[in-house]
Amino acid sequence: MALFDKKKKSETELPENLPQHVGFIMDGNGRWAKKRGLPRSFGHREGAKNFKKIVRYCKDIGLKNISFYAFSTENWQRPKDEVDTIMDLFREYIVDVRNHLSENTRMIFLGDKSIFDDDLREKMIKLEEDTAHYTEMTLMMAVNYGGRDEIANAARILAQNVKDGEMNPEDINEESIADCLYTRGIPDVDLVIRPSGELRLSNYLIWQCAYAEYYFTDILWPDFSPKELDKALIDFDGRHRRFGGV
Ligand code: FPP
C-alpha cells in the first residue's frame, strides 16, 4: 500500500483506493447522552461537534465527496424539543460555516428545503450558490431527506417534463432519473458508514447506494474518531466489488 497523498494527516497508512463518495449515518447520539444520564439533545450537540471534526479530517486525507445524514423526513416525529435542538444546530452551523469549512469546499444540502423557515432556506441556498465553484471537496448534509421522497420528486419532475412536451416517456432512463436527484453530478456512494450497531440504511440515498459497500461499528456517532474512519477506509480497500459482474 502506498501513501496516497503528501498532505495526508493520518497516522495510519491509508490506501490509494479511496472511495469517491462516503456516506455517514450519524447514529447513536441519543444513546451516547443516555449512557451519561444526559438529555438526548446533549447527544446531538456532541454529534454536531464530531461532524465538524470528521469533516475536517476527510478534507485532510483527501476525500472528495462526503455526505452526512443529519435529519430525515421521518425525524419530525421526534419530541419537539429534540427537533428544535437539531434545527438550532443547523442554524448555528450555517452561521459559523465559514470558520469551519476551509477554502475550496462545496456545500450542498440534500433534501426538501421547502419545509424550512424562509430565512434558514435562503441561507442554505446562498451557501450552495457561494460555494458552487469549489472543487477540492463536496460536503453534503442531508436535511429533511428521505430516499423514497427524493425518487418520488424525480418522478414528478420527469412527468412534468413529459407533460410539457420537453421529453418522451422513452427518454426516461437511469441517467435522466439520476439528473433529477439532489445529488446530480455527484458520484454514487461507494461506502456507507453507520455507527451505533444498527445494520440498516434507513432510507438514506437509496438510489445512490445501489452498489455501495457498508461499514458498521458499535461505536456511537459522538465517539466515532478519525482512527475509526481510517479502519473503515482500509476495510473498504479490501472489498472485492463486482457491480453485478464476476
Ligand atoms: C440519529 O441518532 C441522529 C439524528 C437523528 C440527528 C443527527 C443530527 C446531528 C448529529 C446534528 C446535526 C447538525 C449538524 C450541524 C451536523 P439518534 O438520536 O437516533 O440516536 P439513538 O439511536 O441513540 O437514539
**Ligand 1 atom at minimal distance to the Cα of residue 93:** 15
- The whole-number pLDDT of residue 8 equals 61
Q: Is the dihedral of CA 219, 222, 228, 229 positive or negative?
A: positive
C-alpha 133 – ligand 1 centre gap (Å)? 29
- The whole-number pLDDT of residue 7 equals 52
106-126 burial, b for 16+ CB within 10 Å, e for fewer?
A: bbbbbbbbeebeeebeebbee
Q: In 10 A of CB 198, how many CB atoms?
A: 13
- The whole-number pLDDT of residue 4 equals 42
- The whole-number pLDDT of residue 244 equals 84
- The whole-number pLDDT of residue 10 equals 76
**Ligand 1 atom at minimal distance to the Cα of residue 78:** 5
Listed in sequence order, the residues at least 6 apart from 64 whose beta carbon sits closer than 8 Å to its beta carbon are: 18, 20, 21, 136, 137, 138, 187
Return the best residue to mutate from 24, 25, 26 for the ligand 1 pocket (most ligand atoms within 8 A of CB): 26
User: How many whole angstroms separate alpha carbon 61 and alpha carbon 47?
Assistant: 21
C-alpha 7 – ligand 1 centre gap (Å)? 31
- The whole-number pLDDT of residue 14 equals 93
What's the distance, CA 219 to chain centroid?
A: 18
> Model-level pTM greater than 0.85?
yes
The three grid cell numbers given for residue 206, joined into one nine-digit string: 437509496
- The whole-number pLDDT of residue 12 equals 81
Establish whether residue 47 lines the binding site of ligand 1, counting it when its CB lies within 6 angstroms of any ligand atom: yes
Establish whether residue 75 lines the binding site of ligand 1, counting it when its CB lies within 6 angstroms of any ligand atom: yes
C-alpha 189 – ligand 1 centre gap (Å)? 20
User: What residues act catalytically?
Assistant: 27, 75
- Regions in the chain scoring below 50 on pLDDT: 1-6
Establish whether residue 4 lines the binding site of ligand 1, counting it when its CB lies within 6 angstroms of any ligand atom: no
The gap between the terminal CA atoms of the chain, to the nearest Å, is: 24
